[in-house]
Structure 1
Amino acid sequence: MKIALPASLAALALATSAHADAGAAARTYLERIAALDDDGPSLNAVIVSLDPETAAAEAQAAERAGLPLGGRTVLVKDNVETREWPTTAGSLALAGNRTGRDAPLIARLRRAGGVVLGKTNLSEWANIRSSNSTSGWSAVGGLTRNPHAIDRNTCGSSSGSGAAVAAGFAWAAIGTETDGSITCPASVNGIVGFKPTVGLVSRTHIVPISASQDTAGPMARSVEDAALLLSAIAGSDTADLATADADKHLTDFTAGLATASLAGKRVGVLRSAVGNDRKVAALFDAALADMRRAGAEIVELDYDPPEEMGAAELTVLLYELRRDLAAYLGGSPAEIPIRTLADAIAFDDAHVEQEMRWFGQGLFEQAEKTTDAEAYRKARADSLRLAGAEGIDKLLAENRLAVLVAPTVGPAWTTDLVNGDHYNGSIGAGSLAAIAGYPHLTVPMGAVEGLPVGISFIGAKWRDADMLQIGAAYERARSAKLAVPSFGRWQPPATQ
């Protein structure tokens, strides 16, 4: 089916980058949401959005005030509180979680002149409910579809944010990540995603999984846009102890991006993370060749993450989920039917058809039983040591590297509500950065059979600006043709 688009992505990018009329840009984004999310291919990326008059007025006011974001529109993952709408984390149990407050990162966004255009769908409970889930599905928002191929997955849990940016529904979006939930949807939807150092962006008033690993971050169509959004939302928050040092690392993250160079940079290749897909490997090797031509020194690494790291991470996530979710739910001023993880489990059991038609809540049930504090403390120390001091830190130091690189994930898999996700687990090294709490940037590096694939740039703690500069330099050096959303079902591209 051929779909009439309100504005092409190219024309939309040109209009909004120039930002001649922020109000008109806001209206155009909402037209695209109506045509492609609510109608047409029905991507289901956006749960709720502003009306056009309000959006245009807010954008124009921010533009006239000369604020840094100038009325640019941002969609927000629906586990981050905004004052206008409920914050559901995709669960019917939180359908009434209307707190009337902004998360601190949203307050910063508004002060910088950003317009909160709406809330995006997500994998329910940020994909921590079941190990057999279908990413991109929630009881509140339904199934999010990939704009590059609507029968393909959007990955989790910031699925709606990734699909929305790729589809041109907003200038940028906010996602959150515990392990892969910004970078994976960014990669498979063909956009830039940045998971910052844990503690650079406040987590207050965000439905949590893990105080050790959770962070919010920007998702955008370019590294520069992601950096501009990060500059707006980063900073210390007295209610979030992890952010105590954030203000020390604040900067204009866009500074120097236009002239950033790969010349002389030693780039460490995590070869074992390239995986077993020969087409992904060929695309990645072409990206390395681009970087080499741009002056980078490519260093092949012999490294395999220790098996015990993943087991330790799971213990940490399950223990902290029970503890941290209870703290969030107990502190919500809204009239909600659940206040603990046990309550959430009971709610799902009482609403099986709506909540558990496609997959269960095995991880929730496991987390409710993960109560050994000593085992948790050991697991956290082990996982942090293995991913940080003996992982990223050691690799960077011993090889005198500026950055580690690998493919982010493979191309999007076919969505299967009956059997759950079936992605290629051999590809990617994002768990290293997630567990250590270090920055991880993914940038589109091309396509496999018309489906986007990203390249990961992973660095040391607080070296967020460095990762953005390296990513911007790669973006300019990239020779591969990028995929363009089709808004239809996947078809094999014509051979060249």
Structure 2
Amino acid sequence: MKNSVLPLLISLLLLVNAVKAQSFKPKQLREATVDQLHQAMQSGKLTAEQLVQLYLDRIEAYDKQGPFLNTIIMGNPKALTEARRLDSLYKATGKFVGPLHGIPVIVKDNYNTFDMPTTNGTLAMKKSIPPADAFVVQRIRAAGAIIIAKSNLAEFATSGNVSVSSILPGYSRNPYDTKRTTAGSSGGTAAAVAADFGTIGLGTDTGSSIRGPSSHQSLVGFRPTLGLVSRSGIAPLAMTNDTGGPICRTVEDAVRVLDVIAGYDKADSVTRRSEGKIPQSYRQFLDKDGLKGARIGVFRQLCTAKNSDPQVYALFNKALDELRAAGAIVVDSVRVPELDTINKSFDTIPQLRRDFNLYLANLGPNAPHKSLTSIIKSRQFHPSIEKTLLDSDKDTLAPEAHKGWGKNLALRERLRQLLLRAMDSTGVDVLVYPSFSYPPRLIGDLNTPSGTNNNALSPPTGFPAFSVPMGFTYDNLPAGLQFFGRPFSEPTLVKLCYAYEQATHHRIPPASTPVLPKKKRKVAI
């Protein structure tokens, strides 16, 4: 009798454990945060393998089918294998390997990955597999994150308006209205994160490309202080401005990513500026009461009734009331009278040829192309960027050899000093303005105003700027509120952005990518 009962009991126990491990339902995945997913793993309701599969199911259902968001260049064929490895380690030790253990991440396809192609959105680089990960990718892998997919971008990261490349046919589409743009160049990452194709995302920002897509997809986007996050192993556009950063659904998740990726990298000398300026963890500044007594400067030069969509303008003024209601002192307004003059005075000096040729040289002997000239000759790029590539390649002078280089550096420094003086004289902690003064444009519309405010302050100064959701216009078109701070003031920005997010909870997931029905999977006994 005992012999006949024992196998049955073992089978029942295995069944109970299997059901317990599979009790994390697809609806719980919707908008799930890193902390919620880790709690589910620790309680035995979820494994990293199951989590990856849930996201893969959503990618399969919605990226090239259904709303056809067209955000993914390539899924990681080893994502499930890596998830199983992490599950085995957790089972053996009872500990996570790091703060992003088992968390699937969407990586913009201009970050080098040693085990997957890094295309920079161009067909010419379709078979380019770098010899090593980008520094930031090394950091997130060491923290336990799983790259689930590489995402679409504006080819060569050249556009803040759209995410269209030659590596994918067609544009990436906004999940809130698939007729509209995701913005660029990190629009693929943003749309994928908004649609729950992964938990967190990595983007890059030269002029707009973290904060713009985040604003258009009701997400949180951090453009950190130039020098806080390494750019080594990221395909460059203009190294005077380029930086990487997180694109996430919540401030807390973006902070978790920032904790992992911030820091000195000997391969990127600009990161030396960050030494001694990084706290033990930015998470200590997640204070839901952080707006109480904070002084918020309104930068109306970037949002007036005349140069804004009326609904965005109204939403911005409502956001100011929300800041006041949360205890902030709103200083309306702060001005830099020379701003327009300075921004119109910069000389256009291409950096792509020099910077990208250096990037290609670091790809080693197996790189499909050795120069920008070679890529141009291949004709394997989107027609929309042909003039940019030709103009960049034609200018053989080193950027620093241009007579306008010194003038540009002086203008940058002048703008830094004017902004600091304006903030100091009014005693404000940050400046705020809409990330865009207009809603997302229809795909293909390059004539009506884009309304971007992203390139006016942060890129030319190198100062940090974070975008957070501030609600919706025209029923379902997202808008973002931007917080601009002093150099290495990320702790202040984290505190204020988190407090605003917690006071308003403006983010709503897109209706085009609803919860999938739970797949019936056989339980092996």
TM-score range with shorter-chain normalisation? 0.7 to 0.9
CA contact (8 A) 2:211 2:221 kept: yes
- Gaps of at least 5 residues in structure 1 are 1-5, 489-496
- 1:207 aligns to what? 235
- Measured in 2, the distance between the counterparts of 1:305 and 1:453 equals 27
By how many angstroms is 1:114 displaced?
Answer: 1.3
- 2:463 aligns to what? 438
- 1:31 aligns to what? 57
CA contact (8 A) 2:52 2:80 kept: no
Deviations 1:356-412 (A, max 9, x none): 2xx24222223234436142422431341243122x312211211100000001321
Please state whether the residue corresponding to 2:359 is helix, strand or coil.
helix
CA contact (8 A) 2:237 2:355 kept: yes
CA contact (8 A) 1:177 1:195 kept: yes
- 1:125 aligns to what? 156
By how many angstroms is 1:254 displaced?
Answer: 1.2
Please state whether the residue corresponding to 1:152 is helix, strand or coil.
strand
Q: TM-score, normalised by structure 2?
A: 0.83
CA contact (8 A) 2:285 2:491 kept: no
In structure 2, relative to structure 1, the CA distance for the partners of 1:427 and 1:331 (3 Å cut) is closer
Please state whether the residue corresponding to 1:138 is helix, strand or coil.
coil
CA contact (8 A) 2:135 2:232 kept: yes
In structure 2, relative to structure 1, the CA distance for the partners of 1:428 and 1:305 (3 Å cut) is farther
- Measured in 2, the distance between the counterparts of 1:421 and 1:314 equals 23
Equivalent positions of 1:291-310 (< 5 A) are 291-299=323-331, 300-303=333-336, 306-310=339-343
Please state whether the residue corresponding to 2:174 is helix, strand or coil.
coil
Residues 1:448 and 2:469 aligned together? no
In structure 2, relative to structure 1, the CA distance for the partners of 1:314 and 1:186 (3 Å cut) is farther
CA contact (8 A) 1:443 1:475 kept: yes
- Measured in 2, the distance between the counterparts of 1:217 and 1:237 equals 15
In structure 2, relative to structure 1, the CA distance for the partners of 1:312 and 1:422 (3 Å cut) is same
Residues 1:279 and 2:311 aligned together? yes
2:258 to 201, 223, 230: 230
CA contact (8 A) 2:110 2:235 kept: yes
Please state whether the residue corresponding to 2:202 is helix, strand or coil.
strand
State, as a whole percentage, how many aligned pairs show the same letter: 31
In structure 2, relative to structure 1, the CA distance for the partners of 1:68 and 1:204 (3 Å cut) is same
- 1:384 aligns to what? 412
Structure with higher Rg: it is: 2
- 1:13 aligns to what? 32
By how many angstroms is 1:262 displaced?
Answer: 0.8
- 2:490 aligns to what? 464
Equivalent positions of 1:336-485 (< 5 A) are 336-348=367-379, 351=380, 355-356=382-383, 359-370=384-395, 371=397, 373-390=401-418, 392-409=419-436, 410-416=438-444, 421-422=446-447, 424-449=449-474, 450-478=476-504, 481-485=506-510
Amino acid at match of 2:490: D
By how many angstroms is 1:284 displaced?
Answer: 0.7
- 1:288 aligns to what? 320
Deviations 1:153-197 (A, max 9, x none): 000000111001100011100000101000000000111000111
By how many angstroms is 1:79 displaced?
Answer: 0.4
- Measured in 2, the distance between the counterparts of 1:110 and 1:429 equals 30
Amino acid at match of 2:501: E
Amino acid at match of 2:39: A
CA contact (8 A) 1:123 1:157 kept: yes
- Measured in 2, the distance between the counterparts of 1:242 and 1:156 equals 25
CA contact (8 A) 1:186 1:219 kept: yes
By how many angstroms is 1:266 displaced?
Answer: 1.1
- Measured in 2, the distance between the counterparts of 1:122 and 1:96 equals 17
CA contact (8 A) 2:208 2:454 kept: no
- Gaps of at least 5 residues in structure 2 are 1-24, 514-525
Residues 1:139 and 2:166 aligned together? yes
- Measured in 2, the distance between the counterparts of 1:427 and 1:121 equals 21
By how many angstroms is 1:429 displaced?
Answer: 4.8
- Measured in 2, the distance between the counterparts of 1:17 and 1:167 equals 20
In structure 2, relative to structure 1, the CA distance for the partners of 1:249 and 1:188 (3 Å cut) is same
- 2:297 aligns to what? 268
In structure 2, relative to structure 1, the CA distance for the partners of 1:376 and 1:96 (3 Å cut) is farther
- 1:86 aligns to what? 117
By how many angstroms is 1:86 displaced?
Answer: 0.9
- 2:66 aligns to what? 40
By how many angstroms is 1:22 displaced?
Answer: 4.3
- 1:187 aligns to what? 215
In structure 2, relative to structure 1, the CA distance for the partners of 1:247 and 1:183 (3 Å cut) is same
Deviations 1:422-474 (A, max 9, x none): 46344525431111111110000000011000000000111112111110011
CA RMSD between the two structures: 2.3
Please state whether the residue corresponding to 1:107 is helix, strand or coil.
helix
Amino acid at match of 1:136: S
In structure 2, relative to structure 1, the CA distance for the partners of 1:309 and 1:55 (3 Å cut) is farther
- Measured in 1, the distance between the counterparts of 2:403 and 2:344 equals 12
CA contact (8 A) 2:111 2:234 kept: yes
Amino acid at match of 1:406: Y
Q: How many residues align?
A: 466
By how many angstroms is 1:257 displaced?
Answer: 0.2
In structure 2, relative to structure 1, the CA distance for the partners of 1:55 and 1:421 (3 Å cut) is farther
